[in-house]
């Protein structure tokens, strides 16, 4: 059974359009995560939400640690969430800069696309879940759902300077969701392209038959027979081909006088009457004389020019 490796996409124009759209999203995502790292506005939005009573306060961590109690920062306000967003943005840009030239060169096959976009489809939901994390560390100000900068209008910020930061965080979340949708479409297109259609199966079958026919034609070669040292080619028998072999097998050399001049001499007959073959051989042998040496070419020197008469 022949293994089928899909090399083309069902909708190459759709793949190109997704690459262009993905480039814009990845640049925006990389810029927003780079601006947010390492901690440009995370603690500010955390404190702003605490001032409005939407979530816990960052100062609670100081009080808890001062009392020698364990404290775990909520995932939505942790440094891990910011670093994770930055890492997947860089990884997305790396994949984009790799698969775009490979697609243009025709070597980014659908199975490769399945592997790449499966990893992205796994990572981006994690990033979205971290951004939508809850904050239940303060029983008096619980946050059972997403943070306030996603669920509420940015104008509710207690400090006007945090409005722009709220908009950046909201934009980061929106671009992450859209990027996930793009990667899901990429993955779906790659999976569909991995299954051949009837037309592709027919082309594959014709290609295999053509290759099989060429292999059979390469195997149809003329047999090579050993030649003896007295032949004109340096071996004692004339070159043997299938046609010559068939001619000799059918007895084609018994009635032709000149067919034995390369082989061994016929057995001597008890009859003293010369055979026609022997007469012809004797006549040919006696009539053949060594050719005279070729004359050497003479050098030609033209006569000197004559003086013109006045």
> For position 199, what pLDDT does the model report?
79
- Highest average pLDDT, of 20-24, 203-207, 302-306, comes from 20-24
Q: Tell whether the torsion through CA atoms of 136, 138, 142 and 148 is positive or negative.
A: negative
User: What mean pLDDT is reported for the chain?
Assistant: 81
**Per-residue pLDDT at 122 exceeds 90:** yes
Of 164, 130, 172, nearest to 34 by C-alpha is: 172
**Per-residue pLDDT at 287 exceeds 50:** no
Give percent above pLDDT 90 in the chain.
Answer: 54
> Residue 166 — very low, low, confident or very high, per pLDDT cuts 50/70/90?
very high
How many angstroms separate the most distant Cα atoms in the chain? 138
CA separation for the pair 221, 231 (Å, rounded)? 23
Q: What is the mean pLDDT of residues 125-130?
A: 96
List 135's β-bridge partners, or say none.
Answer: 143
Q: Which of 152-166, 250-264, 286-300 has the lowest mean pLDDT?
A: 250-264
Per-residue pLDDT tens for 73-107? 999 999 999 999 999 999 999 999 999 999 999 99
Q: Are 173 and 166 in contact (CB under 8 A)?
A: no
Tell me the pTM.
0.66
> For position 8, what pLDDT does the model report?
87
> For position 26, what pLDDT does the model report?
97
Per-residue pLDDT tens for 13-51? 999 999 999 999 999 999 999 999 999 999 999 999 999
Q: What is the mean pLDDT of residues 189-193?
A: 94
Q: What are phi and psi of 68, to 5 degrees?
A: 60, 45
Of 181, 93, 175, nearest to 131 by C-alpha is: 175
What single DSSP character describes residue 294? P
- Over its C-alpha atoms, the chain yields an Rg (Å, rounded) of 46
Q: What is the mean pLDDT of residues 128-155?
A: 93
Helix runs in 106-240, H state only: 110-131, 148-151, 162-193, 198-219
Per-residue pLDDT tens for 224-277? 545 455 445 555 555 566 666 666 666 655 555 555 555 445 554 444 455 555
> For position 198, what pLDDT does the model report?
76
> For position 84, what pLDDT does the model report?
96
Query: Which has more confidence, 214 or 309?
Result: 214
Q: What are phi and psi of 235, to 5 degrees?
A: -125, 155
Query: Which has more confidence, 147 or 269?
Result: 147
CA separation for the pair 58, 48 (Å, rounded)? 10
Q: Which of 115-129, 138-152, 229-243 has the lowest mean pLDDT?
A: 229-243
Q: Are 138 and 61 in contact (CB under 8 A)?
A: no
> For position 288, what pLDDT does the model report?
47
Query: Which has more confidence, 302 or 229?
Result: 302
- Highest average pLDDT, of 62-71, 198-207, 291-300, comes from 62-71
Q: Are 89 and 33 in contact (CB under 8 A)?
A: yes
> Residue 167 — very low, low, confident or very high, per pLDDT cuts 50/70/90?
very high
**Per-residue pLDDT at 280 exceeds 50:** no
> For position 282, what pLDDT does the model report?
45
């Amino acid at each position: 059974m022949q293994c089928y490796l899909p090399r083309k996409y069902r909708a190459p124009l759709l793949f190109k359009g997704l690459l262009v759209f993905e480039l814009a999203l990845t640049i925006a995502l990389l810029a927003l995560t780079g601006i947010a790292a390492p901690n440009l506005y995370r603690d500010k939005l955390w404190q702003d939400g605490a001032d409005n009573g939407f979530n816990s306060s960052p100062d609670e961590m100081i009080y808890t640690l001062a009392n020698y109690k364990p404290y775990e920062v909520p995932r939505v306000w942790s440094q891990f969430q910011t670093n994770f967003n930055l890492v997947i943005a860089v990884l997305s840009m790396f994949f984009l800069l790799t698969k775009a030239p490979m697609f243009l060169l025709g070597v980014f096959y659908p199975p490769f696309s399945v592997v790449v976009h499966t990893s992205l489809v796994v990572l981006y939901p994690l990033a979205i879940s971290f951004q939508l994390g809850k904050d239940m560390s303060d029983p008096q100000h619980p946050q059972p759902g997403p943070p306030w900068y996603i669920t509420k209008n940015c104008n509710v910020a207690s400090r006007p300077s945090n409005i722009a930061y709220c908009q950046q965080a909201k934009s980061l979340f929106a671009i992450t969701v859209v990027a996930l949708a793009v990667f899901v479409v990429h993955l779906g297109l790659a999976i569909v392209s991995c299954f051949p259609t009837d037309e592709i199966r027919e082309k594959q079958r014709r290609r295999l038959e053509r290759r099989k026919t060429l292999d059979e034609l390469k195997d149809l070669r003329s047999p090579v027979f050993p030649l003896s040292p007295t032949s004109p080619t340096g071996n004692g028998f004339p070159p043997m081909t299938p046609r010559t072999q068939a001619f000799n097998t059918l007895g084609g050399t018994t009635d032709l006088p000149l067919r034995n001049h390369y082989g061994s001499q016929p057995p001597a007959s008890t009859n003293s009457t010369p055979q026609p073959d022997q007469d012809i051989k004797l006549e040919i042998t006696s009539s053949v004389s060594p050719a005279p040496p070729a004359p050497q070419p003479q050098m030609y020197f033209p006569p000197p020019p004559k003086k013109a008469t006045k």
